[in-house]
Amino acid sequence: DSGVTQTPKHLITATGQRVTLRCSPRSGDLSVYWYQQSLDQGLQFLIQYYNGEERAKGNILERFSAQQFPDLHSELNLSSLELGDSALYFCASSVAGVGETQYFGPGTRLLVL
Amino acid sequence: GDSVTQMEGPVTLSEEAFLTINCTYTATGYPSLFWYVQYPGEGLQLLLKATKADDKGSNKGFEATYRKETTSFHLEKGSVQVSDSAVYFCALSVPSGAQKLVFGQGTRLTINP
């Protein structure tokens, strides 16, 4: 158990819908990262938050957004969903320094029908 | 840009065989290097890491040495077990900008008894 929790574990929805994925980092970690794992793209970095502020963006679509709340949990919002958004979405957390280990949650498996 | 290349899988070995999974990287600066493992239906777990040249990371009988001259971080284990069956990801994190992880495509390893 990494100490990072993600809910829900599975999500099935339809095209055009909007969903919210939730992540709670390990106790004491200030940084939260979101990654997408798909068969064709592999594991890709989406976005990083540090202590409530956006720190870096990766290959995140404009239809996707995220935030980190004062209690440090984070939410990833996916809107206008398309079939191609079906993937495993991971959250990771770290204390947030160079070379720090990132600890991953169990992921949320999203299926868009 | 920064990238990681892993040997293509899948890899199938017999129990007690010697394992090598090749990993090479391209990065600006001096990255930290990681091996993560993903067991079926689970999130990613850190297996080992190295943060500077010639460092050797080791855990659970697995080893990898950070080779700056060949930009490599090959994963090795002397005697694999059935329980080592999983997908292995090599990853890097660069010291500037976002501390995101850049992953290789993953190598699926199956160990037969």
CA distance B87 to B21: 11
The answer to whether the Cβ–Cβ distance between B97 and A90 falls below 8 Å is no
Q: What is the pLDDT of residue B40?
A: 87
Does B40 reach chain A within 8 Å, measured CB to CB? no
Please check the confidence at residue A110 and state whether its pLDDT lies above 70.
yes
CA distance B51 to B33: 6
CA distance B53 to A101: 17
Query: How much helix, strand and coil, in percent to the nearest 5, is found in chain B?
Result: 5, 50, 45
Report residue B1's pLDDT band, with 50, 70 and 90 as the boundaries. confident
Q: What is the pLDDT of residue A98?
A: 60
The answer to whether the Cβ–Cβ distance between B101 and A92 falls below 8 Å is yes
Q: Confirm if A10 and A19 have CB atoms less than 8 A apart.
A: no
Q: What is the pLDDT of residue A8?
A: 97
Instruction: For residues B45-65, give the mean pLDDT.
Output: 96
**Nearest residue of A to residue B34, measured between CA atoms:** A101
User: How far A81 CA sits from the closest chain B CA (Å)?
Assistant: 23
